[in-house]
Amino acid sequence: MEVIDACAVRSWARSACDAMGATAAEIDALNVYPVPDGDTGTNLHLTLCSAMDALGSADPQAKLGPTLDTLARGALLGARGNSGVIVSQLLRGVADRLGRPAPAGGAALAAALSHAADLAYAAVAEPVEGTILTVARAAAVAATAAAAADTHAPLEDVVRAAVDGAARALERTPSQLAALARAGVVDAGGRGLCVILDALLATVSGNDNPAISAAVAPTQLPDLHPLETAQGGGAVPIGEAVTFEYEVQFLLDRADDVSVDLLRSELVALGDSVVIVGSAATPGVPALWNVHVHVDDVGAAVEAGVRAGRPHSITVTRFADRLSTPASSCQAEQQGGGGPVAGSWSGRGLVAVAPGAGLARLFAGEGVEVVEGGATHNPSSADVLSAIRRTGAAEVVVLPNHPTVTAVADAAAAVARAGGQDVAVVPTKSPVQGLAAVAVADPSRRFADVVIAQAEAAAATRWAEIIVAVHEAMTMAGRCVAGDVLGLAEGDVVLIGEDQVTVTCELLDRMLSAGGELVTLVLGADALDGFLERVRVHLRRNHPGVDVMDYRGDQPRQPVLIGVE
Q: Give the H/E segment covering residue 288.
A: strand 288-295
Angle at alpha carbon of residue 492, lines to 489 and 493, rounded to 5°: 90
Kindly state which CATH superfamily the domain 462-564 is placed in: Dihydroxyacetone kinase; domain 2 (3.30.1180.20)
The pLDDT, as a whole number, for residue 308 is 92
Reply yes or no on domain 1-223 having CATH 1.25.40.340: yes
Residue type, 540: R
Residues ≥6 apart with Cβ < 8 Å to 319: 35, 37, 227, 243, 244, 245, 246, 247, 294
Q: Give me the residue spans of the domains in the chain.
A: 1-223, 244-318, 342-457, 462-564
DSSP 253-280: ES--HHHHHHHHHHHHHH-EEEEEEEE-
Spatial CA neighbour of 562 closest among 29, 544, 531:
531
* DSSP assignments along 334-397, one per residue: HH---SPPTT---SEEEEEEESSHHHHHHHHHTTPEEEE-BTTBPPBHHHHHHHHHHH--SEEE
In whole angstroms, give the CA distance from residue 480 to residue 305.
36
User: pLDDT 10s digit of each residue in the chain, 565 long?
Assistant: 899 999 999 999 999 999 998 898 889 888 887 777 677 888 899 899 999 989 988 898 999 999 999 999 999 988 888 899 999 999 999 999 997 877 899 999 999 999 999 999 999 988 999 999 999 999 999 999 999 988 788 999 999 999 999 999 999 999 998 888 888 899 999 999 999 999 999 999 987 666 655 444 433 333 333 222 223 333 323 233 336 778 888 999 889 889 999 999 999 999 988 999 987 666 667 789 999 999 888 888 888 998 999 888 788 776 654 333 333 333 334 344 445 544 579 999 999 999 989 999 999 999 999 999 876 677 877 788 889 999 999 999 999 998 878 877 887 887 788 788 999 999 999 999 999 999 999 989 999 999 999 999 999 999 999 999 877 878 889 999 989 999 999 888 999 999 999 999 999 999 999 999 999 999 999 898 899 999 999 999 999 999 999 999 999 889 999 999 9
Q: What is residue 174's predicted lDDT score, i.e. its pLDDT? A: 92
CB 204 within 8 A of CB 146: no
- How far, in Å, are 49, 153, 205, 430 from residue 149 at the CA level? 36, 8, 20, 64
Q: Which CATH class for the 244-318 domain?
A: alpha beta
All residues at 6 or more sequence positions from 448 whose CB lies less than 8 Å from its CB, including other chains: none
pLDDT attached to residue 317: 73
β-strands 236-237, 485-489 pairing: unpaired
Instruction: Give the chain's length.
Output: 565
- 16 and 195 in contact (C-beta within 8 Å)? yes
Q: At what angle do helices 155-176 and 188-205 cross, to 10 degrees?
A: 170
At 229 the pLDDT is: 28
Yes or no: domain 342-457 corresponds to CATH 3.40.50.510: yes
